[in-house]
Every structure is written in C-alpha cells, then in structure tokens.
Structure 1
C-alpha cells in the first residue's frame, strides 16, 4: 500500500495518469498504517495494537439494541482472549474453517475476533437460508466445526460438529482466567471465507486473508487521516443495521472495535431474518443510545424516509445522528433528496465495494464529498483503478464509462476451490474485474451506472435498469420497482418493470408507461409492467434480477 510511483505523472485533481491509464488514490495514509506484508501478524493483533493506552474502561464496545445489554471495551478484550484460549482446547486448530450460522448479537464480534486470533478461518452465512442452500455452502468451504444457535442448528449437515452459541457451556468460555492463546499467524494466511451474492451466477466462496482485512480496516473513513480525527472518530456510536454475515456488516464489526467505537447491534426481527425491516425500531434505537452513525442498505434508507414522511414524530430524539453510511446497492438521487428533507444536517455517505474487495474501497467522507449526489466517493488509500472499454480493453479517461477494474491489498486471494472463476475475474497483475459499468469525473469521484451483465440491449442501445428503477420510485404511488430485460423479436430486449403499488392506490400499467415515457428517450421506455407484492433482494439489498427474469418469462403469455 503505497502512493503512486514518483515517475508516474498523476493529475492532482482526479488521480488519473494518462501514461498508465490508471486512477490512483489521493487520500493520505492512516495514522495507524499496516506493517509490511512479510511481517507476521493476525488481524486481531493488528486491531488491538491500534488501541490507545487511554482506552475507556466504562464506555461500551458493544450494545444489544433490543435488550440494552452492553459489553465494555475491557470486557470485550478479555472475552476475545478467553474464548480464543478455550477454542484451542480441542474445538479448532489453526487453519480450520469455522462455519457461523447465527443471528446478530453482541457475542458474534467476539467470536469472529477469537477465531481469527487462533488462526481459524471464519465463514459466516445467512441463517435465513434453507437447509439445501446451507449444505451447498458447507460443501464449498469444508468446515471442521459450526457455530450456531438452537434455532439454526437443525439446518446444518448432521455429520458436522456444532457448538451452540446460546448454550451455557459456550457462554462460560467468556470467563476470565483461562489464559491467552499464542498462535503464530502470517498476514498471507486465510482469515475468512464469505459468500458472494450469486446475483449474476452461482454463489462462490470468497477467500480473504488477514492482510486483506488489515488493509481494508486501515482505510480512513473520516475526512482527515490525522491523529486528531482518529481521536474524534473514537467517540462515534454506530448502529449496525446490516447483516453481520455480509461483507458490509462483517467489516463494520471488525473496524468499530479496532477504532474504539461503540457498536450498537440491531437485533430486531428483521435482523434475524423474520419479517420486514422495522424503521421505527431503528430510529428508536438511534434515540435511545444516542447513535451518531448508522450503517444500512438502500432499502432500509427508503424505509426510514417513508416512516418519517408518514409520521414526523418518529425522528424525535434523533438529534445525535450525524451520518448514515449506505452501501450494498445503488441509491437514487430522488431518495437522497427526500432523506435530506427529513433528516436535515445528517450526511448520507455512499460507498462502493464487493465481497471480493473486502468491502468498500471507494467512499464519500465528510459533508462536502457526501454532497456529490449520485457518486459513491473517491478511491480509498492504497487503491488503484482503471475504467476499461469492455470491447477493446483500452483504459479510458475521466468522463468516459467502462468496466471498473481495481487493484490493491484488499483484493481477495481468490474463489476457494474454483481456479476457473478466479482467473476469469482476477488477472496476473492483480487487477480485479468488477463487472460494473462506471466512470470517474475530473475530480476523482466514481459513479456507478449498472452491472454490465444486467444492461438491457434495446434496438442496439444499452439501457441501465437502475436508472429506470430510480425514476419509477419517484412516483408517489410506487413503493418499489425493478426493471429486467424481456425478449423481443424486433428490438432484441425491451425493459419490463416489476412494480409494488402503494396500498390503496389504483395505479395501472398504462399510467406507469406514460409516466416513464415523458421523461426518457424512446429506447428506455417501459414496454411491460407486472404488479407484485414484493421485490426479491439478497441480504445486501441487491435486486435478484434472475428470479424476476424467470417470473417474466413465466408470465409471457399474459403480457
């Protein structure tokens, strides 16, 4: 992780080098920079080494949003060390994969840290998955043990050893006096296996190293990388309203403890895979725990905005809120404007990343950058990027869209047991092809257009579904919308919209088509409309377009 070579001419405004066609990060290095890759170091050791000597003894490291139960920073450290020592007593060995199938809770970050501290590989999965889906993930990662709760253990293969996190004997492992584990871990060793969303193909096992986690967690998330800014960041109280098994929530778990920040774990019914996201409960938690920052996905942002629009009293007591981090999927400019009206003075900070890049490598920091509507921010420290013409392979300058390629120490080691898929996305020089159509502007801000594979090819033109979805969601009688391609003999593909109507509304298909047609060029017009009760999404908020394409084809005779 280093600045651009001295002999490379880089535009100080955009970070772009015309000589190499590469965009370089212009961020300053963090005050707690990672050591050289050859230095033996686990992620937990790196994280704990960043703690200052004045670490507060009473301020919580973790809080359960439902119960209010809190774990102080000294208690967090002692629990991690005690559990790590207990795990080595016949539960796991260095290099073992530990499958984690559990709802969110204050015990989960403790488990993540303890497993990695002893050289085990953490592999969390969505507890809402079916037994068959879980069996597929277990087959991919080959764990030696699984950590689950009573409600999820029955979904695991019967021949896999299971440790119940809600059992008394496990909870007793958090006791003090067990001793510390001493395991030599290299930065190049595997630390985690997370599963790609599978929205454009079958889910894959993404192998991340300790170096990947260290590099990602070290990226500054404030407007300044100074020691003073780091000290101010330590007073942050974060409400985690995204899944802890998803790379987004996973890295927030790790980074918050490392930065000495309080993490409020949202443990509502939606967080446990039961029912819809409860916007009122989240806003109540913000007020109760004086939360300064919330991490959530775009559908959750839409939910809290709608709740505030329907009942302004739900924002009472949320004066402590300073920022909302939004990631996992794109967010429309209209929603950003609505958010700003209902939460004035609260910045909505977007970021961009993938499981394969150990979460975000591009983000907006500070009020000024967050004000760039439509952008996901600038490259983080240590990141390089290219915008590549998908047809010619040529690197493209600012203002010209193409496929985003990225390189840096946060890029995954590869897909576990899948060399073919690894080589298809990761080249010999370390460049990872994101599959997203993007562009940088002259100031180095990144804009996401859509997934290359999801672009609709209509009459020779490329139509981005996300653009039409954002437009549809501006209609007052549309709750949610998703756009997919529909085969047509003459045009090739035509945009088809799945729409969730507002309860009690009488909006019809022709009205929707007319609404869109007035605002877009002819080839972007909606040609078919299907009304549904919900839009299927994955845990990160991304629309499951493959399911909708299948549904559209099934309904073909009625369209």
Structure 2
C-alpha cells in the first residue's frame, strides 16, 4: 500500500503535512509579543551572557519589555515606524526586539558588520526613525541623522538600573545618543497598548530572495505567531516524553539578526521557559567551555558549526555528555559531515531543517526522535503547511520520487517584499504559493531532500549572498567590462563566491587587483560571523 495517499493528492499535486493541524489564534488583534509571553512554564533564567554570566530572568523579562516600550513612546516612536537593531548577539537583543514589536513599531535587525553604505541604504529604504547599537558600531550611525540608543555590550553578572537623565550627545553633529539605562528604567505603566492586527508588519529582514539582487522581507505578527506554534512549540511537543521545554539549555552561536536565530533564540524558545546561553561571537574554545560549563542540551546550528563541533570532539576529546540535540539549517549537511559528527557524538540526536526568511523559517524539520533516521533529509513538512514539487519547464506538479522546484503555502509565508510589488508578484503567485527556487523531491515517507537550487543564490556560512550584488560591485572597476559571480562547494562554509571577470582591451588587471578592489569597497558586509 502506498503510504503517500494520506499526504499527497494526485488530483491537485498538493503535499500536506503528515502531522495533524495545529490551532492558531483566531483573534485578529493578537500581537506576537503578548502571545509569546502568555504561555505558562516553569523556566527561571531566560537569557544569560556566556562570558560574564549576566542574566535576565523570566520574572524580569516582561517588565523589561514594557519599560523599553515605554521608553520608545517617550522618545517619540509611533506605531508602524521602523527601528533599526544594529546589535551583536547579546542578552538584551531579544528584550529589545520584543519591546519594539510590542509597541506596534517594526524591527529591522541588521548584521552589525554591515558597512556604512549598506546601513544607510537600509535606513533610507525602510525609513528608519531610531536605532539601537553598541559603542563598537556607533561610528557607523554618526551621520545617519536619527536618534541612537546606546546599549552596554558587556553587563556584569549583577547589574542594577537607576533611572537617569536622558543623554543627548552630538555624534558628528547629526545624531543624538540616548542612554539605554534611561530607556530601560522608564516606567512600564506608561507603555502604550496599541491595537495591533496580526497582519501588521512586525519585522523587516534582508534576504537575497529567490533570485536577483537582495530584497527586504516583510514579516507579520501572524507569521511570527505561526512560527512559535508550528516550528518551536510543535517541535518541543514531540519531545515531551523525554524532557520539558524549561529543562532545556540552548547555546546561541548563530546570529540573532538572521531569521533562524531571530524566531528561535530571540523569541520562540522564550515561550517554553528554556535557558538561552548567548555567545557574542563564535569561538571554538568558548563554545566548548559553554557546552560543558552551562550543561548545554541543544544547539541550533549551520553546517560550518557542525563541522567545528566535530573538530573539537576529535582534537580535544570532548564528550559533551549534557548535549542531547543538534539541528542544522540554512544549507544542507554533506554526508561526510553527518557521518563524522555521528561517529564523534553517537549520543547526540542530529537533525536538519529547511526554512527561508520568506517562510519565517517554517518549512521542514527532521524529527530527531523518529524511529527511522534519515539524516540526509531536511525532514517532514511542518503542520498547517502545504507544498508542491513543480516541473519548471512544463508547469506540472510532480509526485513523490520526482524532482522539481519546491513551492510552499501556509501561515508562515511572508506578507511581501517591502516596497517591491513587482518582486513580490514574481515570487508569490495569485494562489499564495511561494516559489522557493530550490530543487527537491519527496520520498515515499514524506521526507524532503534538497537536490539543487534553481535560484541564483550562494549560501556561505548560513548567509544568502546574491551574486547580482557582487556583480554590481565588480563592474564598478574601470578595467572590468563584465563580471559574473557563482558559488562553488566548500566543506567548511557550504559554498564560496567565485568571480569570472572580462577585462577591458589592453588591460593588465590581475586577480590580486580584483581582490584588492573588492576588499577596498565600503559596500559589502562580512559574511563570516
């Protein structure tokens, strides 16, 4: 008997989840922060700085969120306005994020390694009215002409906040700096309670899209709520016979400004009562110390991080007995990486997942407690989601076992590409299907396998890099007539960009000249976090 009859329809070519549907809130006026903090649990410590031990408890968390929201109101931030988060991984990141969206404003987190030009482009494109940053990156905002809340990056283990006077300090004459202590100590009773619709935009995130230049993805409160339920809380429910959410200790190595880190570590896990140990920057030795010292049970990862864990285990003979689960996303794991990891850590459940910024990270997840382990698969379709596998040339839907482009539909799908109606229409069709650009197939049990990419995107260290963005930089050189960038496989990073350059007639341009030119441009963020 064909088991696919329950989750695949020959009539319309639609794949359904093998899991039962999950109820989502029907009240249209529920915001993501209120929904997330409404869940009951027995968690005590919410967030902890791995290097200093500074922590934020679950008792403090709602108070801090309301205080910052009150501060935003006093500064003059209104519902629907955009606030930039130029922050590294830190204990305050989730608090600031939840405060912004609870106030009805829109958060736009960015890679803090972004260049001045990239930051200014985001500020202008999204009409940013305020920014949060740390002193290390303050110089990048000094000419932005918007208020900046300066967050202390390294809190001591015990910190006490006293309401102070607002500091207004000129940065190169164009931006005022507001004390984070003042914002954090604002009376939470003055926090606004805006009427937020689930369809209101909560987050604007950069993405390379499914093709062409990078775009800005508009994610709604409904999208975030769906991710909490269909990704985070649903996955936790599968493991309730083994442990409860508040008994888990997650190590945050992946960046919170990335969709994976944002919806899982900066929001979703807080609904379970999990303890989240936050590393500012990746360091193999520090990671090993954290796993052992904090009794880490779970690590959300990307392929390069799985390789690093394996390397540590081999070289230094770490067993990491507390570690229960590692789940990798952002790019497929190679068979070699899977085999070596399982050999070094046979007691650790290894899984893979699939999601995009455009799906709010909802998509597929390898259930690590499944009886049959299919490590090379990115897993089963999430509840409430639908999929198609489409022959791009013929436009026909394909059954299990046949390879085509993955289309997705469901509550996790983004609202739009912000301020880009044309790009939105080219990615989401009139029936609501998101054309992912990934080439895939389902097996007979409903597990999905990524084969290739139709879309013109390079995945490096879990980041999506649009070749078109790199092409545009290369052709700025006066001796380059044309250029094309492509990705090639790399064991450590997944892929790396390689440029093919056509020199102008008579030019002596060398490979080193091209590399130096690109390195000198204040246009590219560093993709290695």
Do structure 1's residue 249 and structure 2's residue 234 form an aligned pair? no
Distance 1:155 1:168, change over 3 A: closer
2:215 alignment counterpart: 204
Listed as ranges, the matches of 1:395-474 within 5 Å are 395-453=397-455
Q: Structure 2: how far apart are the matches of 1:88 and 1:230? A: 44
1:39 alignment counterpart: 28
Could you say what secondary structure the match of 2:136 adopts?
Answer: coil
2:183 alignment counterpart: 173
Which structure is higher in RCO with an 8 Å CA cutoff and minimum separation 6? 2
| Structure 1 contact 13–442 (Cα < 8 Å) conserved | no
Ranges in structure 1 where 5+ consecutive residues have no aligned partner: 1-9, 272-276, 456-464, 470-492, 501-534, 536-540
Instruction: Give, in angstroms, the shift of residue 542 of structure 1.
Output: 5.8
Listed as ranges, the matches of 1:478-489 within 5 Å are none
Instruction: Give, in angstroms, the shift of residue 147 of structure 1.
Output: 1.1
Do structure 1's residue 240 and structure 2's residue 226 form an aligned pair? no
Instruction: Give, in angstroms, the shift of residue 11 of structure 1.
Output: 5.5
TM-score normalized by structure 1? Answer: 0.75
Could you say what secondary structure the match of 1:243 adopts?
Answer: coil
2:196 alignment counterpart: 185
| Structure 1 contact 13–444 (Cα < 8 Å) conserved | no
Instruction: Give, in angstroms, the shift of residue 137 of structure 1.
Output: 2.0
Q: Deviations over 1:38-92 (max 9, x none)?
A: 520100111112224xx44xx2100111111111100112111221122111341
Deviates more, 1:135-144 or 1:69-78: 135-144
Q: Structure 1: how far apart are the matches of 2:107 and 2:121? A: 17
Q: Deviations over 1:222-273 (max 9, x none)?
A: 6674795697123111111101100011011110111211111112xxx2xx
| Structure 2 contact 149–178 (Cα < 8 Å) conserved | no
2:312 aligns with one of 304, 307, 326: 307
Do structure 1's residue 121 and structure 2's residue 106 form an aligned pair? yes
Q: Structure 2: how far apart are the matches of 1:227 and 1:368? A: 10
Do structure 1's residue 76 and structure 2's residue 61 form an aligned pair? yes
Instruction: Give, in angstroms, the shift of residue 175 of structure 1.
Output: 3.4
Distance 1:186 1:231, change over 3 A: farther
1:356 alignment counterpart: 358
Q: Structure 2: how far apart are the matches of 1:288 and 1:14? A: 46
Could you say what secondary structure the match of 2:29 adopts?
Answer: coil
Could you say what secondary structure the match of 2:353 adopts?
Answer: strand
2:378 alignment counterpart: 376
Could you say what secondary structure the match of 1:78 adopts?
Answer: helix
Q: Deviations over 1:173-231 (max 9, x none)?
A: 33374314322111011100000046953211000000011011111556674795697
Distance 1:552 1:435, change over 3 A: farther
Could you say what secondary structure the match of 1:450 adopts?
Answer: strand
Instruction: Give, in angstroms, the shift of residue 552 of structure 1.
Output: 10
Q: Structure 2: how far apart are the matches of 1:371 and 1:423? A: 38
Could you say what secondary structure the match of 2:363 adopts?
Answer: strand
Could you say what secondary structure the match of 1:195 adopts?
Answer: strand
Instruction: Give, in angstroms, the shift of residue 158 of structure 1.
Output: 2.6
Do structure 1's residue 286 and structure 2's residue 291 form an aligned pair? yes
1:24 alignment counterpart: 16
1:195 aligns with one of 174, 185, 206: 206
Q: Structure 1: how far apart are the matches of 2:502 and 2:307? A: 25
Instruction: Give, in angstroms, the shift of residue 164 of structure 1.
Output: 1.3
Q: RMSD over aligned Cα, in angstroms?
A: 2.9
| Structure 2 contact 69–188 (Cα < 8 Å) conserved | no
| Structure 1 contact 402–438 (Cα < 8 Å) conserved | yes
Q: Structure 1: how far apart are the matches of 2:115 and 2:271? A: 34
Do structure 1's residue 213 and structure 2's residue 203 form an aligned pair? no
Instruction: Give, in angstroms, the shift of residue 93 of structure 1.
Output: 0.9
| Structure 1 contact 42–117 (Cα < 8 Å) conserved | yes
1:50 aligns with one of 39, 58, 74: 39
Q: Deviations over 1:389-411 (max 9, x none)?
A: 01001000000010000000110
Q: Deviations over 1:104-161 (max 9, x none)?
A: 1000100000011110001000011111122222232111111111111221343222
Do structure 1's residue 136 and structure 2's residue 124 form an aligned pair? no
Do structure 1's residue 160 and structure 2's residue 146 form an aligned pair? yes
Q: Structure 2: how far apart are the matches of 1:92 and 1:325? A: 38
| Structure 1 contact 406–434 (Cα < 8 Å) conserved | yes
Listed as ranges, the matches of 1:310-325 within 5 Å are 310-312=315-317, 315-316=318-319, 318-325=320-327
Number of residues of Structure 1 aligned to a counterpart in Structure 2 = 453
| Structure 1 contact 348–370 (Cα < 8 Å) conserved | no
Do structure 1's residue 331 and structure 2's residue 333 form an aligned pair? yes
Ranges in structure 2 where 5+ consecutive residues have no aligned partner: 153-176, 461-483, 504-509, 513-529
| Structure 1 contact 216–361 (Cα < 8 Å) conserved | no
Do structure 1's residue 93 and structure 2's residue 78 form an aligned pair? yes
Q: Structure 1: how far apart are the matches of 2:291 and 2:221? A: 32
Q: Structure 2: how far apart are the matches of 1:105 and 1:401? A: 41
2:389 alignment counterpart: 387
Instruction: Give, in angstroms, the shift of residue 310 of structure 1.
Output: 2.2
Distance 1:427 1:230, change over 3 A: farther
2:495 aligns with one of 538, 543, 546: 543
Q: Structure 2: how far apart are the matches of 1:240 and 1:306? A: 19
Could you say what secondary structure the match of 1:135 adopts?
Answer: helix
Distance 1:370 1:255, change over 3 A: farther
Q: Structure 2: how far apart are the matches of 1:370 and 1:357? A: 27
Q: Structure 1: how far apart are the matches of 2:347 and 2:238? A: 24
